Amino acid sequence: TLGRSRLLPNIAVFDIMRRLQDRQRYPEAMALVESLRHNSPDQWREYSFLLASYAQSAELWDLQRQYLHDALEEAPQPGGYAGEDQDP
């Protein structure tokens, strides 16, 4: 399939998924979602929250809950911001 071929960058796959979702072609869009899980395991948590919205549109509630769980499984720890440009 297109998703498993890894011929397209992830952003192009997301664009195709959005177009499929707009046309209510949810099975095809969800097949691409699963290809992202296999092809980008290191980025899966970053994508999971967005992918939960695709599952919601397809009314795949169990899958939506799983994606939300994946997104929140390792939530950031509370604390102060430790980024750049902090004044002493």
DSSP letters spanning 13-55: HHHHHHHHHHTT-HHHHHHHHHHHHHH-GGGHHHHHHHHHHHH
**Quick one: pLDDT band at residue 1, thresholds 50, 70, 90?**
very low
Q: How far apart are CA 72 and CA 51, in angstroms?
A: 13
Q: How far apart are CA 38 and CA 68, in angstroms?
A: 17
User: How many other CB atoms sit within 10 Å of the CB of residue 54?
Assistant: 22
Query: pLDDT tens digits, residue range 19-61?
Result: 988 888 888 888 887 777 777 777 777 788 888 888 888 899 9
74-84 average pLDDT score? 64
User: How many other CB atoms sit within 10 Å of the CB of residue 41?
Assistant: 9
pTM of the complete model = 0.63
